[in-house]
Chain A
């Protein structure tokens, strides 16, 4: 019977489905809201014999990442999933996975960090580990969550840099949408067979991983890691193009939505970018030259490319769904400002910290940002950072 490739899936179901088609050697994971379903569904695939994966249920996220590091170092294609406190508990091991250049893939469902205790969406968890040596890719919707997971395996293994794919907690993880999935054989062909160059179980070419690395060599190794992150950029672009050939959906560092003649734009990551597209459409209907830059790849940071995309704009609003607790701008805005500064551009940049702990962001909220930008261009002074929808 011919199976339709158009399905209704939640973000979590879509990520688990991608994992089934990837059929990794090892999945080691510990459940946490709102990412629980990903491993729960995948454990079902293992129990039903639909995958060949060795599933390792562990007692904590620290152990989950430790097991993933062991498995990846041994030469196995390895995937895990977590969220929020789970990612925080993994943090120590994330740096080790990055430093050892192990191509692990992690599905992170964005949820805020306690305290106060809260299980809802923001990007604090992902931002907390932005410097851990993992590529970070954000998904707008369930379709992108699926597409990004499939691409992540190939990006990680080619760049030999681990990859985090994120979705927005509950909004995407628990929201069901129409998505298009690839055939099993297409995904199998796309990810190919994993052939690591160095691995612990290669007895013909023995290696040591994770040895003591003192001031005489540590810096050289970190320098190589930095270079690997830089060199992952053309790999991400190449994989995004090749994915486009099998799916019709090509991916880059970011999506430029109605940016060609835009005078003002906002920059956003994750599900809010979709909502912003509706606002841009409404403003365009009124004849206003509004655009959107949806950032997909936050690590490595596509600095020159962003500066180039923004160079003709009069004003930019940067949406941060987390705060850097420096008393000033959020993490995304700081990096966008540095990109613009290095090019000597005079673009007005306003920062909007929004949606912390799952605070709703509506069409009106986003429209008010564009209104601010129009005002700013006319010379009206605006706050450097605005906290959207906060009672003060």
Chain B
């Protein structure tokens, strides 16, 4: 695996693209790696296309420029693919993980995605709705990301995310449990 992995999250304002990147960073940190998480700089608006980013390495990460050539792209909302070039700058052997009811093959045909790029799909919205009664697909997509890339230990990530969510939702354990279940389901249900 490359020494520096760059990840780009595509979502819409309110879907938790930024939070997902931050949760990923926390999980990566606990595995002893160096990590960066940063949102697309600037004002965010509910529903508008937004991006956030992660860098992951076993060595200190010095660069502070934007991510231009991601190794992994995660799409929280499939309708974005109609208006945003989510594959922009992507490395030829990259991995894309999409929240959709469609299969990887259907997506590859529909958007003419070249053969070298690995496509993974998971219905994170349905998982989220069933687990926390809301369509906030960011946490299940974390699970799908780990399954698709293997860049972090799944159990350790789950434990670290639980700790983070517990501190954020102190008085609402059902939200923590729901999210954890959603991550596990997405991890198991992601299709390649």
Q: Which residues of A contact B (CB under 8 A)?
A: 6-8, 119-121, 141, 168, 170-172, 174-178, 271-272, 274-275, 277-278, 358, 360-363
Is residue B34 within 8 Å, beta carbon to beta carbon, of the partner chain?
Answer: yes
Question: Is there an interface contact between A361 and B65, defined as CB atoms closer than 8 Å?
Answer: yes
Tell me how far the C-beta of B173 lies from the nearest C-beta in chain A, rounded to whole angstroms: 21
The 9 closest A-B pairs by CB, nearest first: A170-B41, A175-B38, A271-B64, A176-B37, A274-B62, A8-B29, A277-B62, A275-B63, A278-B63
In the complex, which residues of chain A have a beta carbon less than 8 angstroms from the beta carbon of B25?
8, 176
Is residue B35 within 8 Å, beta carbon to beta carbon, of the partner chain?
Answer: yes
Contacts known (A119-B42, A176-B22); A171 close to B37, Cβ less than 8 A: no
Question: Is there an interface contact between A177 and B61, defined as CB atoms closer than 8 Å?
Answer: yes
In the complex, which residues of chain B have a beta carbon less than 8 angstroms from the beta carbon of A358?
41-42
Number of A-B residue pairs, CB cutoff 8 Å, is 65
Bound together, the chains give a CA A171 to CA B62 distance in angstroms of 12
Is residue B36 within 8 Å, beta carbon to beta carbon, of the partner chain?
Answer: yes
25 pairs, A vs B, C-beta closer than 8 Å: A6-B29, A8-B35, A8-B37, A120-B41, A141-B64, A170-B38, A171-B64, A174-B38, A174-B39, A175-B38, A175-B64, A176-B21, A176-B25, A176-B36, A177-B36, A177-B61, A178-B29, A178-B34, A272-B64, A274-B64, A278-B63, A358-B41, A362-B65, A362-B66, A362-B68
Set B37, B42, B43, B64: member contacting A172, Cβ < 8 A: B64
Bound together, the chains give a CA A141 to CA B61 distance in angstroms of 10
Bound together, the chains give a CA A120 to CA B26 distance in angstroms of 26
Residue of A120, A141, A177, A272 most packed against chain B (CB within 10 A): A177
Q: Which residues of B contact A (CB under 8 A)?
A: 21-22, 25-26, 29, 33-39, 41-43, 61-66, 68
Question: Is there an interface contact between B65 and A7, defined as CB atoms closer than 8 Å?
Answer: no
Minimum CB distance partner of B164 in chain A: A8
In the complex, which residues of chain A have a beta carbon less than 8 angstroms from the beta carbon of B64?
141, 168, 171-172, 175, 271-272, 274-275
Tell me how far the C-beta of A2 lies from the nearest C-beta in chain B, rounded to whole angstroms: 14
Bound together, the chains give a CA A172 to CA B63 distance in angstroms of 11
In the complex, which residues of chain A have a beta carbon less than 8 angstroms from the beta carbon of B36?
175-177
In the complex, which residues of chain A have a beta carbon less than 8 angstroms from the beta carbon of B68?
362
Tell me how far the C-beta of A45 lies from the nearest C-beta in chain B, rounded to whole angstroms: 15
Question: Is there an interface contact between A278 and B38, defined as CB atoms closer than 8 Å?
Answer: no
